[in-house]
Chains A and B, each alone.
Chain A
Amino acid sequence: MSADLFEFLCRMGDNTLILGHRVSEWCGHSPVLEEDIALANTALDLIGQTQLWLGLAGEVEGQGRSADDLAFLRDAWDFRNVLLVELPNGDFGQTLMRQFLFDAWQELMLGALKESSDARVAEIAEKASKEVAYHVERSGDTVIGLGDGTEESHQRMQAALDYLYPYVGEMFESDAVDAAMAKAGIAPDPASLRDAYDARLAQVMAEATLSIPDDRFAHAGGRTGRMHTEHLGHILSTMQWLQRAYPGATW
């Protein structure tokens, strides 16, 4: 059980870690100051949630690894994030589309985790879901604003959705780890969240005048660790550089 729980917690923590890092890449580059601040705030929340998830993962594993050890000293094949969060930022619209696709899933997942049979998981979910409520409100509003905006913004948002949609399905895949979590009442079977997610997506995309692709093909392999995209290694080389070059460095 503890191996499955460790795996589950890494999936949660790696999602927020990698997306938090990706979003932080915008710092100082956003189209307007308010958006720069909003993205930095979102990244900060995600990194904060990472500390909680990976901190608990280290505790459950019981080998003395801290959240920092897990974040900075594992290599690409040990990461368990979904592929969606490691994809490049693209333009501002693509970043916000990715954010919405993730936020809408995270909101449902955390909502279910608040009822987890594991009190430690439930209290992290309780904390994080308050933050995510703000994330999804903003990313959803922005998707609508840009989708139903100018001809160019609409076109870019449709292109972003077409590019990112094949990465949505992985968030709802279930494997033996998920079955063990569901059986123990720790976490829901991700597949059980799909209907509510689809309803939310349909509502927001309709308002944004965007068309959801028909094809349900899903790229996968990130959350099981079978295969990441080529982008993850590049993220890690930036993110982990300092600890790799100067092991144990602190300030």
Chain B
Amino acid sequence: MQPRVDEIWDWLDQVPDPEIPVISLVDLGIIRDVEWQGDTLQVTVTPTYSGCPATSVINFEIEKALRDHGIEKLELKRQLSPAWTTDWLTEKGREKLEDYGIAPPSPTKGPERCPHCGGTHLERISEFGSTPCKAQWRCKDCLEPFDYFKCI
């Protein structure tokens, strides 16, 4: 019997992002669709940044997780448009990011508060961070640097 699509979404929600393992691939918002085409499971994935080296690892992790759950016929489809946006991060994902010390994206073009102390006196160190999706910021209250998940 074919597993239900919502069951498969739950499985994918257990697969951690390879760079930020505290959130799942579903939290990241890159799984765009899960659908049965006859006896083949089709999973549609969109890249975060076009050069993100995690993309191929992500595809590998999806395949591995689904095979472990007994899915035999699997097709991964790449979808470029609509382009990934940080608006697709789940609320649960945003909370986990902040707990982990990464400020979640904010439409004001900068973090709302320091993920360590909650301070709001912040300065940008660099537009680019440890991965393409992050920028480096510093809190002037607790003086700690932190990663900010950029809005895109």
Which A positions have Cβ atoms within 8 angstroms of B? 34-35, 37-38, 41-49, 51-52, 119, 122-124, 126-128, 130-131, 134, 137-138
Contact = CB atoms under 8 A, between A and B. Distances in A.
B108 interface: no
A29 to B, nearest CB: 16
**For chain B, which range describes its interface: under 10, 10 to 19, 20 to 34, or 35 or more residues?**
20 to 34
A34 B130 CA distance: 9
A126 B83 CA distance: 7
B127 interface: yes
A48 B52 contact: yes
Contact of B152 (A35, A42, A130): A130
B130 A124 contact: no
Contacts, number: 70
B128 A38 contact: yes
A72 B107 CA distance: 40
A187 to B, nearest CB: 17
B51 interface: yes
Q: Which 8 A-B pairs have the closest CB atoms?
A: A48-B51, A48-B50, A123-B81, A38-B128, A44-B51, A34-B126, A41-B128, A123-B80
B51 A134 contact: no
Which secondary structure dominates chain B's binding surface?
Answer: loop
B81 A130 contact: no
A38 B47 CA distance: 20
B83 A130 contact: yes
Residue from B47, B84, B128 with most neighbouring chain A CB atoms (10 Å): B128
A49 B51 CA distance: 7
Contact of A128 (B50, B53, B128, B130): B50
A127 B81 contact: yes
Contact of A127 (B50, B128, B129, B150): B50
B45 to A, nearest CB: 13
A131 B50 CA distance: 8
Contacts of B49: 44-45, 48, 131
B110 interface: no
Interface in B1-58: 47, 49-53
B130 A37 contact: yes
Residue from B51, B52, B84, B136 with most neighbouring chain A CB atoms (10 Å): B51
A220 B1 CA distance: 63
Residue from A38, A41, A47 with most neighbouring chain B CB atoms (10 Å): A41
Contact of A52 (B80, B84, B129, B150): B80
Contacts of A137: 127
Residue from B47, B84, B126, B152 with most neighbouring chain A CB atoms (10 Å): B126
B81 A138 contact: no
Contacts of A41: 128-129, 132
Residue from A42, A43, A126, A134 with most neighbouring chain B CB atoms (10 Å): A134
Contacts of A124: 80
Given A122-B81, A134-B150, 10 more contacts: A34-B128, A37-B126, A37-B130, A38-B127, A45-B51, A48-B50, A123-B80, A124-B80, A127-B84, A131-B49
